[in-house]
Structure 1
Amino acid sequence: MREYLKFYIDGQWVDPAQPGTFDVINPATEEVAGTVAAGSAGDVDRAVAAARKAFVTWSTTPVAERIALLENIAAEYQKRMPDLGAALSEEMGAPKELANGFQVNLGAGQLSTAIEVLKNFTFEEQRGGSLIVKEPIGVCALITPWNWPMNLIAVKVFPALATGCTMVLKPSERSPFTGQIFAEILETAGVPAGVFNLLQGDGPGVGVPLSSHADVDMISFTGSTRAGIDIAKNAAAGVKRVTQELGGKGPNIILDDAALAENVGKGVVTMMMNSGQTCSAPSRMLVPGARMEEAITAAKAAASTVSVGDPNGDSAIGPVVTESQFDKIQSLIQQGIDDGATLVAGGPGRPAGLDRGFYVQPTVFADVKNDMTIAREEIFGPVLTILGYDSIDHAIEIANDTEYGLAGFVAGEDLEQARAVARRIRAGSVAINDGFDFAAPFGGYKKSGNGREWGEFGFSDYLEIKGILGYTPGGDGA
């Protein structure tokens, strides 16, 4: 069993300011997998003070020095990838192939992308007689969730380091193991004292004092829309910059062509990955109404291939993260049945033969109306809803009829048509035929958040823009 009872503050592993721990439950076994120290406002004060002190020097380091540090981190990260993968499976139930593959590789990809962006990033630009300077914003509070731990830590920490900021990271209390190992990686790589600090704990104990702290300049949060609203309120009194990547209910428009069945099948499998615990998942599939039966057949066949079981085995998906999440998903599945949607695959209860662990059947509903609860709420489990459309205009109307706007998807053989549809979806990123790009911006419209991460776009929120007028005497600023 793991035991992490110290925090990483000012380059040292230190005891918490006051006693307190929390247990981490392995969602596959429902047994305690580890004990972790629980932070408090006193720990937040120490970590923020360390970051504030370190900012004086780190903010002025040459770009070459920051690149060298990030490259050192990349080397250490590669060494610890097996440890990170094992921790992921224990803390949030990711199957070993996913945990050791896409989960940890996303973190590595974000790091290599940040290095390449930094090598070519322009921090100063002369325009006429003025100099436009991009400077690090200051001390950043980074609050991350449990569902893609390494990606969501990496996408915040590495741009912050690259731009010259200092930071305090609070991982989710549901996935603290990976955060602890990540801190060990940065320590070994030689991150200067105080530049990176790690605290563990829950929202009331650490998140609230961190997001409301007077010496924090910027907050980057990924998580639920409800929690994001609370964080924004906490930060408002200090007029802090707050960036948020929140919930989603991604539309996946399947175009009316010969590849419909194939694209339906792909959409089902993509939705189920990570047990459906992805804010940008394609959870609302839109198909031509006249071909609903064909879509149902394809979806049912695809769902039957998604095996569920022990993360240490060969299953495609493992459990969902907690008992409370399991109960919420079960309630929404039953709501879909009660509201009259057609149950195509899965349904309430655990999969056959799995009597322990928070396992959910890969579930597909068809003939869903967009006003049904399962089409409106973010379920955050392996549950797909299929809705019919009459025309492309109708599909886009349904796709945009949501309070969310994080991600959208279009699948079809006619690339020009797919491009035209993608332009009309109101979301921060839209993937055509499973497109993927570390350099593309990621973030939300509407209640899915604000700000952008990934690639060079992920640097912007960590920078202040200063205009130095009269930098060149007699220069024309017009």
Structure 2
Amino acid sequence: MNPSIVERLRSAGRLDRVFIDGEWVVPQGQARSSVIDPSTEEPVAEIALGTAQDVAAAVAAARRAFATWSVSSAQSRALLLDRVHSLILERAELFAQAISLEMGAAIGFARSTQVPSAAQHIRVARDNLASYSFVTHRGDMAIMREAIGVCGLITPWNWPLYQITAKVGPALAAGCTVVLKPSELSPLSALLFAEVMQDAGIPPGVFNLVSGNGPEVGAALSAHPDVDMISITGSTRAGVLVAQAAAPTVKRVAQELGGKSPNLILPDADLARAVPAGVAAAFRNVGQSCSAPTRMIVPRARLQEVERIVLEAAASFVVGDPRSEQTTHGPVANRAQFNRVQEMISIGIAEGARLICGGLGRPEALSRGFYCRPTIFTAVHPQMQIAQEEIFGPVLALIPYDSVDEAVEIANGTVYGLGAHVQGEDLGAARAVAARIRSGQVHINYPAWNPHAPFGGYKRSGNGREYGIEGLEEYLETKAILGFQDASAPSTD
């Protein structure tokens, strides 16, 4: 463990406080929560948890600040976001160490992906704000896009900084004020982010952070009548609870929820290219991504060849201490997730899927920590639990098909529709298949990540979109003013 992150936050008094109305304040309750290092299963810090009363204070501060922030110039908001972006990059190593400590990300992955991708969300929000037309004209109408109001933002533990910036950036760009509830399981990077916001000069009340659990803080935020919008990233179960709590006040609810994403390997795909990249994508962040392509749908005639390649790809993984430069995959983030992965591996074995890699328990030589063995099942039937349920861990299912129509049916055959992949040499055929998949994003032949691409789900994967222009517009209301008359048009007086 590198104690510098915890000691830095402790000495500054951050672990004992929430951030409300521009100040670090002691929460009104006595509840506390331990931060567990998943590589050792030992507590490394303790944070104070907020209460419904703290949520009320934060919402009141956000409501007061909205009156001025919502009418501030786009230029001033863009300058603030530019300072936030710069500070994240300046403190990138602090963020990377915090993420590695709090949720077990390999330090190399935290440095190369978790932190830079989070900074990109702020940059994109800034750039979109600079070019966005908040007022357009249609005949004698003015179509105005205005900030929706006070936004409650609920973020998960698996991409702790990335999901914060994906919400805070566009919300602030739109002119909204926010109350953030980060996951109490990985709160250290969120506290560092609140420091960034303060040091960037955010006006009091525009950004507030209340640490806490879902039943107390999340529920209070969702139900609060002065919150105009809730945006949650989390499990489908959590999304349903938030939507139910928000319903009586008819607030907007944006949900980025679970997934069971397919990776459809077409018959003409170059397996030497398509399969190793698919294995890497499925096990990225130790499989703890809602859009992880953990169902590889492959031609039955090429199944044995795919099995050989996936085993070669998995053999390159180094599972171990997340602070080691040699580690490619650390532990899963917490005990509940470790238990979930073990349970689903047991179910896969009981269902009759053929285990060709990994299995139950920790990797050899690792006697403690929430480490899971990278696990691959083959000959998986599409209706097996391991092919239908989100596992959120390093478990890949190989599902054979006999025709492309059957492959598309399998791809669409879950309650989810968040991400998807299609691999094939004939780009026209791949595009045609991509168009048939019911999913918020489809990646053809592993393109580079694009922070401008809208992201969100069909079916039980959620409602609404994040990232890019669509992510900005999620935080805007539309107002039509009839009889406005375009000022550029000739006068009729």
Shorter-chain-normalised TM-score: which range?
over 0.9
The answer to whether residue 462 in structure 2 is matched with residue 449 in structure 1 is yes
Q: Which among 178, 191, 194 is matched to residue 202 of structure 2?
A: 191
- The 8 Å contact of residues 318 and 359 in structure 1, kept in 2 or not, is answered as yes
Q: Between the two proteins, what is the percent identity of the paired residues?
A: 51
Matched residues in 2 for 1:79 and 1:120: separation?
A: 26
Question: Could you list the per-position Cα deviations for residues 124-180 of structure 1 after superposition, in whole angstroms to 9, with x for gaps in the alignment?
Answer: 011111111000000000000011112110110000110100000000011100100
Give the equivalent residue in structure 2 for 1:270.
Answer: 281
Q: Secondary structure at the match of 1:362?
A: strand
Give the equivalent residue in structure 2 for 1:37.
Answer: 48
Matched residues in 2 for 1:215 and 1:27: separation?
A: 37
| Gap runs ≥5 in structure 1 | none
Give the equivalent residue in structure 1 for 2:451.
Answer: 438
- The 8 Å contact of residues 16 and 48 in structure 2, kept in 1 or not, is answered as yes
Q: Secondary structure at the match of 1:24?
A: strand
Question: Could you list the per-position Cα deviations for residues 364-410 of structure 1 after superposition, in whole angstroms to 9, with x for gaps in the alignment?
Answer: 00000011010010000000000011111111011001100000001
Give the equivalent residue in structure 1 for 2:357.
Answer: 345
| Partner amino acid, structure 2, of 1:462 | Y
| Partner amino acid, structure 2, of 1:93 | G
| Gap runs ≥5 in structure 2 | none
Q: How many residues in Structure 1 have an aligned counterpart in Structure 2?
A: 476
Q: Secondary structure at the match of 1:346?
A: strand
Q: Map residues 233-248 of structure 1 onto 2, 5 A cutoff.
A: 233-248=244-259
Question: Could you list the per-position Cα deviations for residues 93-136 of structure 1 after superposition, in whole angstroms to 9, with x for gaps in the alignment?
Answer: 00000111100011111111111111110100111111110000
Return closer, same or farther for 1:315/1:214 CA change in 2, 3 Å cut-off.
Answer: same
Matched residues in 2 for 1:13 and 1:262: separation?
A: 51
Matched residues in 2 for 1:74 and 1:320: separation?
A: 28
Q: Which among 264, 273, 292 is matched to residue 281 of structure 1?
A: 292
Q: Map residues 53-452 of structure 1 onto 2, 5 A cutoff.
A: 53-257=64-268, 259-313=270-324, 314-435=326-447, 436-452=449-465
Matched residues in 2 for 1:8 and 1:258: separation?
A: 51
Q: Secondary structure at the match of 1:394?
A: helix
* 1:473 to partner: Cα distance: 9.2
Q: Secondary structure at the match of 1:453?
A: coil
* 1:261 to partner: Cα distance: 3.6
* 1:412 to partner: Cα distance: 1.9
Q: Give TM-score scaled by structure 1 length.
A: 0.98
Q: Give TM-score scaled by structure 2 length.
A: 0.95
- The 8 Å contact of residues 253 and 411 in structure 1, kept in 2 or not, is answered as yes
Matched residues in 2 for 1:247 and 1:96: separation?
A: 26
Matched residues in 2 for 1:254 and 1:144: separation?
A: 32
Matched residues in 2 for 1:341 and 1:366: separation?
A: 6
Question: Could you list the per-position Cα deviations for residues 202-239 of structure 1 after superposition, in whole angstroms to 9, with x for gaps in the alignment?
Answer: 00120000110011000000000000000000000000
Matched residues in 2 for 1:204 and 1:397: separation?
A: 38
Give the equivalent residue in structure 1 for 2:477.
Answer: 464
Matched residues in 2 for 1:204 and 1:450: separation?
A: 22
- The 8 Å contact of residues 269 and 306 in structure 1, kept in 2 or not, is answered as no
Question: Could you list the per-position Cα deviations for residues 311-340 of structure 1 after superposition, in whole angstroms to 9, with x for gaps in the alignment?
Answer: 011111000011121111111101111111
- The 8 Å contact of residues 364 and 386 in structure 1, kept in 2 or not, is answered as yes
Matched residues in 2 for 1:273 and 1:352: separation?
A: 21
* 1:262 to partner: Cα distance: 3.0
Q: Secondary structure at the match of 2:373?
A: coil
- The 8 Å contact of residues 139 and 486 in structure 2, kept in 1 or not, is answered as no
- The 8 Å contact of residues 358 and 375 in structure 2, kept in 1 or not, is answered as yes
| Partner amino acid, structure 1, of 2:317 | V
Question: Could you list the per-position Cα deviations for residues 264-303 of structure 1 after superposition, in whole angstroms to 9, with x for gaps in the alignment?
Answer: 1211121111110000000100000111111111111111
- The 8 Å contact of residues 144 and 223 in structure 1, kept in 2 or not, is answered as yes
- The 8 Å contact of residues 142 and 486 in structure 2, kept in 1 or not, is answered as no
Matched residues in 2 for 1:403 and 1:300: separation?
A: 29
Matched residues in 2 for 1:408 and 1:205: separation?
A: 35
Q: Secondary structure at the match of 1:179?
A: helix
Q: CA RMSD in A?
A: 1.3
| Partner amino acid, structure 2, of 1:375 | A
Question: Could you list the per-position Cα deviations for residues 237-260 of structure 1 after superposition, in whole angstroms to 9, with x for gaps in the alignment?
Answer: 000000000000000001223612
Give the equivalent residue in structure 1 for 2:63.
Answer: 52
Matched residues in 2 for 1:18 and 1:225: separation?
A: 29
Matched residues in 2 for 1:76 and 1:109: separation?
A: 12
Q: Which runs of 4+ in 1 moved over 6 A?
A: 473-476
Q: Secondary structure at the match of 1:410?
A: strand
| Partner amino acid, structure 2, of 1:333 | I
* 1:349 to partner: Cα distance: 0.7
Matched residues in 2 for 1:184 and 1:53: separation?
A: 21
| Partner amino acid, structure 1, of 2:392 | F
